[in-house]
Structure 1
Amino acid sequence: MMAKRHQAAARLLIAGTLWFSAAQAHAEATYELEKVVELSRHGIRPPTPGNRTDIEAATNRPWTQWNTADGELTGHGYAAVVNKGRWQGEHYRQLGLLTAGCPQPQDVYVRASPLQRTRATAAALVDGAFPGCGVAVHRVEGDHDPLFQTEAFPATNTDPATQLAKVKETAGDLAARQQALQPAVQALKKAVCRDDASCAFFDKPWQIKQSKSGKASVDGLSVLANMVETLRLGWNENLPVAQLAWGNITSSAQITAVLPLLTANYDLSNDVLYTAQKRGSILLNAMLQGVEQGVNKSTDNMPDTRWLLLVAHDTNIAMVRTLMDFSWALPGYTRGNIPPGSSLVLERWRDSKTGERFLHVYFQGQSLDDLRNLQQVDGKHPLLREEWRQPDCRVTDVGTLCPLRSAVKALSKNLDRNAITPVAYALP
C-alpha cells in the first residue's frame, strides 16, 4: 500500500513538473505577429429600399427617412468605422505588423464588395488606420464579385430542392420556434405598431417559402428580422428617440430584447450549412489561403500583404462563421449577432524561439451604445471580442493561439471544394 502511495505521489510530482515546464515555456515564448486577414461588415446604414417596402407594408405606416439614401453608409457610420480603424492601425503598429507613416504596397491590401456601403466602409477603415495616405480600395467592376456575391456564379448556386429540404430540416417545428420567440415578437410589435391600427402581420404563422431563383426563406420571420435590424441600426445611428420607433424605444436594452428574431433568421438562412458551403466556401478558402501565404501554400494570384482587409456584409460573415463552426455572444447582443463595422479576424503569429506558427481567430465589434455615442476605441472602451479555440490551443499574453496546421485543418473541414473557383486580384 505504501509503495502504491509513493508511486502515485511520484506521478503527481512528475505531472506537476511537466505542467509547470509547459506553462513556463509558454510564458517565456516571444510571439511575433506576421499576418492579418480580416473580414469586416459594412458600417451603419438606413434600411435597404426593399427592406423599407416590406417593413412599412407589415406595420401599415411609414418609417423614418434618414439623411442618407436607403442602403448607403451614413456619416455617423463612417465616423464609427474610422474610430475602429484608428485603433487597429495603432494596435498593429504597437505589435510590429505595421510601421509608422503611410503604408507600403506590401503592408495592406483592401478589397470591398461593389456596393457603396462596403466601399465607403473600407475607405473609412483605412482613413482611420492610415490618415491622409489615400490607401486604395479595390473592387471588381460591375455588380458581382465571386468573393462576396456568390449567388451570381454557377459553381456556387444551390440546388433549389436540396436547399428547401435543408432549411426545413434545420427549422424543425416552425410553429414551436415561433411560439418560443413570442416575447421578442410582442416587444417588437409594441415598439412599431400603432394601438389603433391592425398589425395582423405579427400574428400570421411563419412559413418556409422559396423564390423563383430557388432561395428559401421564412415568410413572416424574415420581415420581422428586417425590422429589428432597422431599429438596431437606427439606435447605432443615434437617431432621435422620437424618430427611432415613435418614442417607444429609449434604451439599448430594448434593442437587445428583440435581437433574438435576428438570430432566428440567421439560423434559417445564411447559417444553414448547405447554403454556407455553396455560397461561402470561396471566401473562407481565400481567407485561409491568405493567412497561410508564404508558409504552407503558394498563392501567386493573391496580394502578398501583412494585412489583407476584406469588407463585405453580415451575410458573408454568417456563412464563413458557419463553415468555421464558430459562434459568439458579445455582451449586449444575442448569439451570432454581427454588429455594423464588426469583423472576423485571423492572425498568424510566430514563436521567435521555436519558429512554430499559430493562428489567433476572433470576432470583434463595438457595443450598441458605443456605436451610438461614437465612442473612441481605447483601453477603457475596448472592442468586444470572443475567440475561437480547440483543445490544442494555448492561452498567451497575445490571446488564444492555436497551432497553424491543425487550426487551418479544423476551419476548412466544411469547405465545398466543388464550389471554389479562382479569384482574380488587382495586384499592387
Structure 2
Amino acid sequence: MRIKLLSTLCAAAGLLVGPFAVAAPKRVLVIERAVLVMRHGIRAPLDGEVLADTRTGAPWPTWPVAESRITPHGVRALEQVAAYDRQLLVAHGLLRASGCPAIRIKTNSSERTIASGKAYAAGFAPSCNFGIAHEPLGVADPIFEPLRARATDFDAAAAIASINRETGGMAALVRRHGAALARLDEVLGCTAVERGCVPAGTAAVGPSADGHDLVLAGPIRAASGIAQVLLLEEVEGLPRESVGWGRADPVTLEQLGALHAALFAVFTHPPYMAAHQAAVLGRAVLASLSATGPRLTVFMGHDTNVTALAAALRVDLRAPGYAINDVPPGGALLIERLRDARTGARFVRVSYRTQSPATLRGLGQSASLVALKIPGCAGLLCPAATFSRLLGSHLAPLQIRR
C-alpha cells in the first residue's frame, strides 16, 4: 500500500517512477512573438443598430459623439488597456519596459477602428510615434471584412445550411433566448400585459442581394443591437439612471448580452461561417507568428473578427460580466509563440483578454486573462506545427483574383 501511494504521489508530481526515477526536465520558455486580435473601443451606437420601430417608455440617452465614433471615454479606456498589455508583455519577457518597442498595428478601414488603433498606440508607448496601417477609409479590407472584399468563394446556401445545423434554425434560436427577449421588453418599458417593444417579424436568415453575405431578420436581429447599445451605455459610464432607464443592472446586462452573442451564433460561429470570416485573418495571424520584424502585431477590428477567429480555433470566449462569446469593447485574443530554450521546440499559447464592465466604466487598468485550451492540442501549450495545422485546416481557401 505504501509503495502504491508513493507511486501515485510521484505520478501526480510529474516524476518518473522506477528504480532510476529522476525529475522530468523543466521547460525554459522564451516568448518570441505575439499577436493581439482586438475589438475596437467604446463607441456611440451605430446607425440602425436599434431598429426604427423599437418602442421605448422614454427617449434614448444622448451620446457625446456622432454615431459609430469612439467616445473620449472609449479613448481613455483603450489607453488604459494598452498600458496593461505593455506591462503584461514585459512580464512575459517579450518586450522591454522602457523605450519604443517594435510593434505593428493594423486596423480596419473604419473611423472607429483607426481611432482605436491610435488610442491603443498612445497608451502602449506614450512617447513613441507608431504608424497605423490601414486601407483608405471605407475600403473593404479582406483581413477584417472578407465577405465584403470577396476574399473567398462564399456560397450563401452552404452557409445557411451550416447555420441551421449549428443552431437548429432561426425559430429554435429565438425560442432558446425567450427569457432574455422577455427581460429586454421589460427594460425597454413594456408592461407585463403590453409586450412587443422589440420588433418581431419572422425569424429568418437568407442571402444578401449580391449573394456574398447574409441577411438576418426577426427578433434576434432586432434584439442583438438593442442589447449591445445597453452594454455600451454601461461601459461608457452613463449615469446609472440612464443605463436602460435605470432598469439594466450588471446582472441584467450580462443576461441580455446573450442576445448580442446570438448574432455571432449566425454570422461567425458555425464552421462554414468561421472558415470564411477568419480566412484572411487566420492566415495573417499565422504569418505574424512566423515572420521576422516587429515582435508584436495588433489587428484592431471588430467583435466579428475576434469571434470568428475563436470559432476557427473551436473555442468559446468566457469572461467575467459578459455572456459567452459576447466580446466587449477592447476585448482581444492574445496569441503567443514560445520557444523551449533547452530543446528548441516551439509552442503557441492562446488567451482571452478582457476588462470587466466595472473596469471599463471606471477606467481602471486591470484586466482578465483567461488561457484557452485549443481542441486537438494536448494542453495549454500547443506545439506550433500542430497549432498551424489545426487553424489552417479550419480556414476557407482564398479566392484567386484574375
Name the TM tier (shorter chain).
0.7 to 0.9
1:343, CA displacement in angstroms? Answer: 0.4
1:137, CA displacement in angstroms? Answer: 1.0
SS class of match (1:110): strand
**1:356 partnered with 2:345:** yes
1:134, CA displacement in angstroms? Answer: 2.0
What's the counterpart of residue 401 of structure 1?
381
State how many pairs are aligned. 392
What is the correspondence of 1:153-164 to structure 2 with a 5 Å cutoff? Answer: 153-156=149-152, 158-164=154-160
1:30, CA displacement in angstroms? Answer: 2.0
Q: Is the 8 A contact 1:349 1:359 kept in 2?
A: yes
**1:117 partnered with 2:112:** yes
SS class of match (1:364): strand
- CA pair 11-64 structure 1, distance change in 2 beyond 3 A: closer
What's the counterpart of residue 79 of structure 1?
76
- CA pair 279-402 structure 1, distance change in 2 beyond 3 A: closer
What's the counterpart of residue 102 of structure 1?
99
Partner AA of 1:320 in structure 2: L
Q: Is the 8 A contact 1:110 1:122 kept in 2?
A: yes
**Structure 2 stretches of 5 or more lacking a match?**
none
Q: 1:420, 1:310 → 2: CA distance?
A: 24
Higher helix share: 1
Q: Is the 8 A contact 1:39 1:309 kept in 2?
A: yes
What's the counterpart of residue 397 of structure 2?
417
1:206, CA displacement in angstroms? Answer: 2.3
Q: 1:13, 1:240 → 2: CA distance?
A: 57
SS class of match (1:179): helix
Q: 1:221, 1:283 → 2: CA distance?
A: 27
Q: 1:173, 1:100 → 2: CA distance?
A: 51
Partner AA of 1:126 in structure 2: A
- CA pair 175-21 structure 1, distance change in 2 beyond 3 A: same
- CA pair 254-198 structure 1, distance change in 2 beyond 3 A: closer
Q: Is the 8 A contact 1:206 1:218 kept in 2?
A: yes
Q: Is the 8 A contact 1:184 1:261 kept in 2?
A: yes
Q: 1:386, 1:234 → 2: CA distance?
A: 29
Identity of aligned residues (%): 24
Q: 2:321, 2:6 → 1: CA distance?
A: 46
The one of 170, 178, 181 aligned to 1:182 = 178
Give a deviation string over 1:296-349, Cα, whole Å, max 9, x none: xxxxxxxx2100111000011121111111212212222212111010111011
Q: Is the 8 A contact 1:148 1:283 kept in 2?
A: yes
Of stretches 32-41 and 194-203 in structure 1, the one that deviates more from structure 2 is 194-203
What's the counterpart of residue 44 of structure 1?
42
Q: 2:386, 2:194 → 1: CA distance?
A: 57
Q: 1:191, 1:354 → 2: CA distance?
A: 58
What do you get for the CA RMSD once the two structures are aligned?
2.9
Q: Is the 8 A contact 1:121 1:311 kept in 2?
A: yes
- CA pair 9-95 structure 1, distance change in 2 beyond 3 A: closer
The one of 138, 141, 150 aligned to 2:136 = 141
Q: Is the 8 A contact 2:110 2:137 kept in 1?
A: no
SS class of match (2:42): coil
Of stretches 219-228 and 171-180 in structure 1, the one that deviates more from structure 2 is 171-180
The alignment's TM-score, normalised by the length of structure 1, stands at 0.83
Give a deviation string over 1:185-215, Cα, whole Å, max 9, x none: 1111100135497736455442334431331
